[in-house]
Every structure is written in C-alpha cells, then in structure tokens.
Amino acid sequence: MQYRCEASSVEGFIQQVAVSYIANGYWFYVAGSIPVGKEPELVDRKLVAHYGIGVSKWVRARRKQLGQANLQYIRFERFFLILATPGQHRFYLEEASTIRDARRIPIRFAGYSISFRGGHAQIRIDPNEYRLLKAYLLELATRRTSECLEAEFQRMPFEPYAPVRRQLLAIHRAVNKARMVAGLPVLDKECLRLRRTIVRPFEPWRDRRAA
C-alpha cells in the first residue's frame, strides 16, 4: 500500500491537515523540519514505517476499537507534521517532549494558524501575520490609488476559509474607513477573493493567481 504524504502546494498541505486530519480527531501533533543534506523521501519512508502509519482504513478502524491511536504524516518541502488521534501508541512515549495539542496550541505554517475549536477545525491567518498585514495596508491606505490597493488585496496568498474571510473583510473595512476620513474613494469588495479553491493535496496544482 502506497502512503501519499508529500503535499504539492501550501494550499494542499493546509487543506489536508485541517479538513482531513484535524477535523477527524488528529489533534496531537509534532512539527519538524528536515535538515538540508537529508533526502526528504527517505525521512518520509522511515517515519511512516517506524510508526506504522501507512495502513488501510480497516486497520485504522480496528485500532480505534482497541483504544489505540492512529497516525498521519504529511510534508511540504522540508516541513512535516506527524498527527495522532487519542489512544495508546509508541508515538506518545517517543515524542512526549515535543507533542502539542491543536485544541490548545495551533499549528503555524506559511502564515496560517490551524486549530480545533468549538467542534471544528479552524484555519485563519496567524495573528502575527495578520497584524503585520493590516499595518502594511493601513500604511498604504491613503498613499495609494484604489486600483493599487485593490491589486494588493487580490494578491493575498491566503485561501479564504471562513475565519480568513472575516479577517480580510476586517482589513478591507479598516482601509476603507481610513480612506473615507481622508476623502478618498473606497475600495470595491470585489477585490477580495471570498471563495476558496478546492485542491488535490498530493497532485500538482496550478495557482490561479499566477495565471
């Protein structure tokens, strides 16, 4: 059985982690980075074999019935995650000092923050990234044309999951407020991309923004 673990894009990585793993109870995780000089594919095979990750859905179901944990592994370039459900597994002993719980400590990667709250996986722009982004656009709010600012919003690299949409709309409102106070034309909401692209995480994906 071939276990697919190398995401082909940031968008695919984020989608797979949040929608397929975190949302399905894989709350406990270890994040790591493969050092330069090591072959990522060799590390993939070693970790998948070591923790018995590449098994069928029937084996996973049986493990769950026995109170054992199931694991998933995913990597984009040199960044990787090992994620686990609650239960018994050597993972919890061997990685004890580095395991985090996505219900308490979000996964942070590529400017995103992924957590599990209120019974759902949540994807948002990481708070630090959000503050920098908002400060940058507010600095430009009264110094650039509306066309230039709308282009900045269109170039946003974040997929518009619901929390991300709320964050982008908040920045958009703040920029328009600053422009109204200065007597400048406001930005059209059409400059925001509010529908996300569903991707195939492990297959090549063409970024439509680059088209």
**What pLDDT digit, counting tens, does each position of 65-84 carry?**
999 999 999 999 999 999 99
Q: How far apart are CA 8 and CA 173, in angstroms?
A: 34
Contact yes or no for 91/82 (Cβ under 8 A): yes
**What SS3 state is found at 169?**
helix
**What pLDDT digit, counting tens, does each position of 44-60 carry?**
999 999 999 999 999 99
Could you write out the DSSP letters of every residue in 125-136? E-HHHHHHHHHH
pTM score, whole prediction: 0.90
**What pLDDT digit, counting tens, does each position of 127-167 carry?**
999 999 999 999 999 999 999 999 999 999 999 999 999 99
**Would you state the structure tokens that stand for residue 84, as one six-digit string?**
């686990």
Torsion of CA 168, 170, 174, 180, to 10 degrees: 90
Torsion of CA 200, 204, 205, 210, to 10 degrees: 170
Q: How far apart are CA 205 and CA 126, in angstroms?
A: 23
pLDDT for 203 = 86
Write out the E strands in the chain: 28-33, 71-76, 79-84, 100-101, 107-109, 112-117, 120-125
**Would you state the structure tokens that stand for residue 145, as one six-digit string?**
């044309």
pLDDT for 204 = 73
Torsion angles phi and psi, residue 54, rounded to 5: -80, 70
Q: pLDDT band for 211, please (50, 70, 90 cuts).
A: very low
From residue 41, give the alpha-carbon distance in Å to each of 44, 75, 131, 144: 5, 10, 36, 46
Say yes or no to pLDDT of 192 above 70.
yes
Say yes or no to pLDDT of 123 above 80.
yes
Q: How far apart are CA 208 and CA 211, in angstroms?
A: 5
**Which percentage of the chain shows pLDDT scores above 70?**
96
